[in-house]
Amino acid sequence: MTDNLPEILSAFAEKHNIIAGACHAAPIDLERLTQSLFVPFVSRNMKKRTNPAETLPDVQSIIVIGVGEEQPGKANLSALGTNPDYHIRVKNFLRMLAAEIHGDFAYKILVDSPGLDERTLAERAGLGFFGRHGLIISQKFGSRFNIGCMLTNLLLPENFQCQSLLKGGLGGNFSSEKFPPRVFCHGCDLCIRACPTGALGGGSLDAARCISYLTQKEKLSPEEESLMHGQLYGCDICQNVCPFNAPISSDAINPQEWLNLSDDEFRKIYGHTAMLWRGADILRRNAGVVS
C-alpha cells in the first residue's frame, strides 16, 4: 500500500498540467460499457476488454491520467494528424510518474490499448464523464485530451476517494458508477446533430459511419467514400461543437499536397504524429477521395 499516493498524483498532475486519478481494479461491468464497445481496432476478447487481471495478473489498482492536446488541429485534418504522437507523450508521463512512486511494485502502461476499455476506467477514476459523443469530458480539458492507464499491484489507501487527488478533474459523485453514462450532458444534442453521417444517432457511436474510422479504414466502398465530408484524416466535428470544449482555430489543407508526397516525404513531415500508423497509401487514398 502507498498511503501517500494521492499526494504524489496530485503534485504530479499540477506540475505537468494534466489530470490524474486512481481506482480499484475490479472487472468492468458489461452493462457499464456503451454500445460502441467493439469499435474498430479493439479486442473482441471480452475478458481482456473488461478484466484488468487479464493484462496484469496481480493488479490491485489503476492510475489513470489525461493529457491535453499540445496544439490545435487543422480544418480537414484531425488534431491526431497534426499533434505530436500522443502515444509517446502519454507513455512518457506515466513512466515519469512510475519513477516518482517509491517502492518496488509491478506495473503495466496502456495507451490506446486494444484491450481494456480505457474510457470507462477514466470515468471510474474520476477524470470526467461520458459525453454523448462517446468521449470522456473533463472539467480541465473538456474532451480534448488523451487517456493513459497504469495498472499496478499497489493497494489504494484505506477510504481512498478520487476527489482527494484531482486537479481540474471532476471527482466526487462524477466518478460514481451508480450514474449512467452521459448523464451530465444535460440533454445537449449538439454533437449528435452536427455529425454529418449520423454516426451518433441516439448518443451511441455507430463506428461504421464514423468519419474518423473511415479515414483509417483499409478499404472503402463508394458509399463510404461519400461519407468522408472533406476530412483527410480523423474527425473533430463532434468535439468542435461540444460546449465543454474551448474553440480552436484551424486552417484548410490542400489535398493535392498529399497526392504529390512520397512515402519518405510523409515520414519527414508527419513522422512525429500518430497518423502514419495506417501508412502513407491510405493517406493518399483519402486525399484522392476528398480532392
If one compares 157 and 13, the residue with the highest pLDDT of the two is 13
If one compares 13 and 159, the residue with the highest pLDDT of the two is 13
61, 153, 237, 248 from 27: Cα distances, Å: 11, 15, 33, 37
50, 179, 181 from 31: Cα distances, Å: 11, 12, 10
If one compares 192 and 207, the residue with the highest pLDDT of the two is 192
Angle (CA) 96-100-102 rounded to 5° is 140
For residue 50, the surrounding DSSP H or E stretch is helix 46-50
Cβ atoms of residues 32 and 181 within 8 Å: yes
112 has catalytic annotation: yes
Does the pLDDT value for residue 177 go beyond 60?
no
Instruction: Write out pLDDT tens, residues 77-118.
Output: 777 667 778 889 999 999 999 999 978 899 999 998 878 889
Q: Which residue has the cell 495498472?
A: 151
If one compares 207 and 222, the residue with the highest pLDDT of the two is 222
For residue 87, the surrounding DSSP H or E stretch is helix 86-100
pLDDT computed for residue 179 by the predictor: 39
pLDDT computed for residue 165 by the predictor: 40
Does the pLDDT value for residue 162 go beyond 90?
no
pTM metric for this prediction: 0.83
For residue 147, the surrounding DSSP H or E stretch is strand 145-152
Instruction: Write out pLDDT tens, residues 16-29.
Output: 999 999 999 999 87
The residue from 112, 206, 251, 281 that is catalytic is 112
In this prediction, residue 184 has a pLDDT band, given cuts at 50, 70 and 90, of: low
Percent of the chain, pLDDT > 90? 35
Type of residue numbered 48? K
pLDDT computed for residue 70 by the predictor: 64
In this prediction, residue 264 has a pLDDT band, given cuts at 50, 70 and 90, of: very high
The mean pLDDT value for 260-276 works out to 88
39, 42, 104, 188, 240 from 113: Cα distances, Å: 12, 8, 25, 30, 25
Does the pLDDT value for residue 243 go beyond 70?
yes
Could you give the CA distance from residue 202 to residue 23 in angstroms, rounded to a whole number? Answer: 29
In this prediction, residue 134 has a pLDDT band, given cuts at 50, 70 and 90, of: confident
The mean pLDDT value for 18-44 works out to 72
If one compares 176 and 51, the residue with the highest pLDDT of the two is 51
pLDDT computed for residue 166 by the predictor: 42
37, 65, 72, 238, 253 from 230: Cα distances, Å: 27, 32, 18, 15, 10
pLDDT computed for residue 178 by the predictor: 37
